[in-house]
Structure 1
């Protein structure tokens, strides 16, 4: 009888041990799943959620910004969301910025397109504990954490020097800027005018805005050339402007027109190789996106940041355009 009791007790003890081990294993697995669902990585650090608000979704320039940001986010274990107007629209950008603040995301990357309109919202985000990095266009009087992008006045000066070198310091110039509301575009125009103004043989005859639209760049360039047939040099300050000017020149049979652009779209580089566009000042949007995300990661780790991080520009013409690799 004692032997049967002992055998039964041993079996019962074995069952209890098996159940305990199974419970411990599944409890540990469930805890791991819960942590993952709560947004934690294996090293126990918080997985942050940030938003990058673009000037225009699916625009080639912003696609490069997005690619750089996405790859950096993957490297640093950050969830990143991209938002932007289908077509350039400042009010829509402001609305998206409001929504990101209301959603209480962990950080925001956004342009400071207009100091008067963007600064109050950037400060609102910071006041609610949401750090903001400005990209491409700064809002220096806001409480933003840092700015990443081109020194736009200096980029405009580089554009001016390229115009002078290409034309020999003489010509009637028509300028297409991306937007007459964006600080970055106006700063580039200012830098361009400062250089061109030093040469008595050069004159800026007209300035128009393309509203960051290829079609509008074509229309504005064509209208400018009709109204000012004396223009023999055209300069663009945003990514699609030179291509629009080239198409307008072809339609009006203005083959002698000297065209100088901005940024490094594939089509622009091809036109430089063929000699249809004389040169361009290329920004580094891929680097901008990656740097902005890295800075937020450093901030989350408690590191002190500088107020500005300028990405360099590169002047490209037929002599060195083959060196430029499209991302």
Structure 2
């Protein structure tokens, strides 16, 4: 009887060991990966979340996705949570590229590999950054707006959240692209924090300060839609607007002629690739410093291809 009992106990232990092996190296936690998003109050980041969830599910992994609500201190707390859960790797979408450094430091000290997504981090050890080609996207936005204006006009630029690499790179690309059109004058630039309501308020103020504006470049679709609201019936007609992201609302506005164009990112692909690269980093693979995901201009001609 004792032998039979011992055999049964051994079988139970073996089953438990196999079960732990199947669930992955949680090492006392209940999560394989952590994803710290800057905000979920934006369709683009919701798309990243969907892509990351889909890839994690396909690989049989558990992923903890958090919303910092655009508060960089929250991302430090969230990274501490991830490390306490003994995640294999952490993914961060920084609220601010500088302010994210302490959050990355939390993971570095715990020897948890970090992948950044959409925005870079200006310090700490990051295995790789998965991002859209924002500089090229800015150039494409400039060409799209210039074509709509016939190479002449007065333009205002709605910049994104200060301190983010995405805002900086899109602005850089737009500046480079618009230089090819000497008949276009950029009369003002102002941040609107990637936010629709702020985009409307900033556009209203800029239109009062600068007469004869005929074009707007907004560094994301939310700000572009805010600008369209401020412009009212002039949006898409007297004043041409180009956005960035290719969100469902942005593409619908392109289809309806309210926005002239948007530069479409692929947020779900970004999310999927971030999960893939995070797992590679966890295995100790060497990764390129940056992985660029292509962007595509969307106009009325091809909006249907993007669900518009």
**What's the TM-score once normalised by structure 1's chain length?**
0.83
Distance (Å, rounded) in 2 between the aligned partners of 1:113 and 1:236:
19
Change (3 A) 1:168 1:254: closer
Matched residues, number: 304
Task: Tell me what 2:207 maps to.
Answer: 225
Q: Could you tell me how far 1:260 is from its partner in structure 2?
A: 0.9
Which of 164, 172, 185 is 1:182 aligned to? 164
Question: What is residue 236 of structure 1 aligned with on the other side?
Answer: 218
Identify unmatched segments of 5+ residues in structure 1. 1-15
Q: Match for 1:84 among 52, 67, 72?
A: 67
Residues 1:293 and 2:275 aligned together: yes
* CA distance, structure 1, for counterparts of residue 237 and residue 304 of structure 2: 24
Whole-Å separation in 1 of the counterparts to 2:186 and 2:77 = 36
1:214 shift after superposition: 1.4
Structure 1 segment 104-143 matched on structure 2, within 5 A: 104-112=86-94, 114-139=96-121, 142-143=124-125
Partner Cα distance (1:263, 1:306) in 2: 24
Equivalent position of 1:53 in the other structure: 36
Residues 62 and 285 in structure 1, CA contact (< 8 A), matched pair in contact too? yes
Larger relative contact order (C-alpha < 8 A, sep ≥ 6)? 2
Mean Cα deviation higher: 169-178 or 296-305: 296-305
Preserved CA contact (<8 Å) 2:37 2:94: no
CA 1:267 to 1:126, structure 2 compared with 1: closer, same or farther past 3 Å? Answer: same
Displacement of 1:199 after TM fit?
A: 2.0
Q: 1:298-309 counterparts in 2 under 5 A?
A: 298-309=280-291
Partner of 2:21: 40
**Could you tell me how far 1:106 is from its partner in structure 2?**
2.7
Q: Is the 8 A contact 2:66 2:78 kept in 1?
A: yes
Deviation for aligned residue 1:120: 4.8
Q: CA deviation at 1:56?
A: 0.5
Q: 2:257 aligns with which of 263, 266, 275?
A: 275
Work out whether residues 197 and 203 of structure 1, in 8 Å CA contact, stay in contact via their aligned partners in 2: no
Residues 201-246 of structure 1: CA deviation (Å, up to 9, x unaligned):
1111111222232111111111111221221101111230111111
Secondary structure in 1 matching 2:188: strand
Deviation per CA, 1:32-55: give whole Å up to 9, x if none. 34654xx5317xx53562211111
Is the CA contact (8 Å cut-off) linking 1:61 and 1:239 kept in structure 2? no
CA contact (8 A) 2:52 2:275 kept: yes
Q: Give 1:28 shift.
A: 2.6
The answer to whether the aligner puts 1:68 opposite 2:68 as a matched pair is: no
Structure 2, unpaired ranges of 5+: none
Secondary structure, counterpart of 2:54 in structure 1 = helix
TM-score scaled by length of structure 2: 0.88
| Per-residue Cα deviation, 1:177-218 (whole angstroms, up to 9, x for no partner) | 221221210111111011112322111111122223211111
Shift of 1:93: 3.1
- Which residue matches 2:187? 205
Measure, in 2, the Cα distance between the counterparts of 1:58 and 1:35: 41
For the 8 Å contact 2:262–2:299, the answer to whether it is kept is yes
Alpha-carbon deviation of 1:252?
Answer: 7.7
Corresponding residue number in structure 2 for 1:192 = 174
